[in-house]
Structure 1
Amino acid sequence: MSKPVLTIWYNTRCPVCDDGIVRQKRRLIEAIKAGQIAFRDINAEPSALAGYGVSLEDIRRRLHAIDADGELLVGADVAIAVWLRTPGEGWLAALFGNRAALPLTRYAYDRFADLLYAWNRRKGRW
């Protein structure tokens, strides 16, 4: 099997994150079966991205992914990369990932991620 085009690390202990990934997995079932996309639980591999200088807490705070070229994607850029590969969701990538919208998309994603991370910490979801 070839290397995935996109490997996404996420926090399964966050119910919002986990639900979102479960939804995407259902939509990407063929790409997952073909080995093109992989979803990985960072809690099972806490040092998986240490070589990129990324900590467990960084990944609990924001989605992280590695593309086929070995490049690190973070936050909104991961969401856009997933939308590009998800049937029927390319329009989301075009809307939120275009040159004009991308800075605002990243800002909004980061603020939401900060709130979600704080909520998970308060709830003790580690």
Structure 2
Amino acid sequence: MLEPGTKPALSVWYNTRCPVCDAGIGRQKRRLVEAVKAGRIQFRDINLEPAALAGFGASLEDIRRRLHATDAQGQLLVGADVVIAVWKATPGEGWLATLFGNPIALPLTRLAYDRFADLLYAWNRRKGRW
């Protein structure tokens, strides 16, 4: 466990009511089991803490639309930047972070993530997953 007063390296907020999001985070939790047990990484259900990131100006709907996270320095990460941070922390997936998070690929990675997130959000709303 972390020392008292120490922040996790990454706290990820996601929508457990979205089956795609929940399955993806479930996979990452299994890959990061030691980091989760040690408290270095947290995965948190935004539906249980709807105002968790209000201080950053992020609404419940913003977080249902795109992954959000805070790092150990208290910086907010959104969307593809969260995915890249999780890949960096996941054994065997650092190469994905390097490939999709490099300065040349990152703008396209963010665009692709945002379009997919928009489609997934619309699908979840149509299915009444709120």
Task: Provide TM-score, normalisation by structure 1.
Answer: 0.99
The answer as to 2:79 corresponding to 1:75 is: yes
Match of 2:24 in 1: 20
Aligned with 1:8: secondary structure?
strand
Q: Which segments of 5 or more consecutive residues in structure 2 lack a partner in the other structure?
A: none
Which consecutive segments of 4 or more residues in structure 1 shift more than 2 A?
none
Distance 2:42 2:125 in 1: 26
| Mapped partners of 1:25, 1:120: distance in 2 | 22
- Unaligned 5+ runs, structure 1: none
Distance 1:73 1:61 in 2: 14
Between the two proteins, the alignment pairs up a number of residues equal to 126
Q: Percent identity?
A: 80
TM-score computed with the length of structure 2 as normaliser: 0.96
1:83, distance to aligned residue in structure 2 (A): 0.1
Residue in structure 2 matching 1:86, options 90, 97, 101: 90
Which of 114, 118, 121 is residue 122 of structure 2 equivalent to? 118
1:93 counterpart letter in structure 2 = A
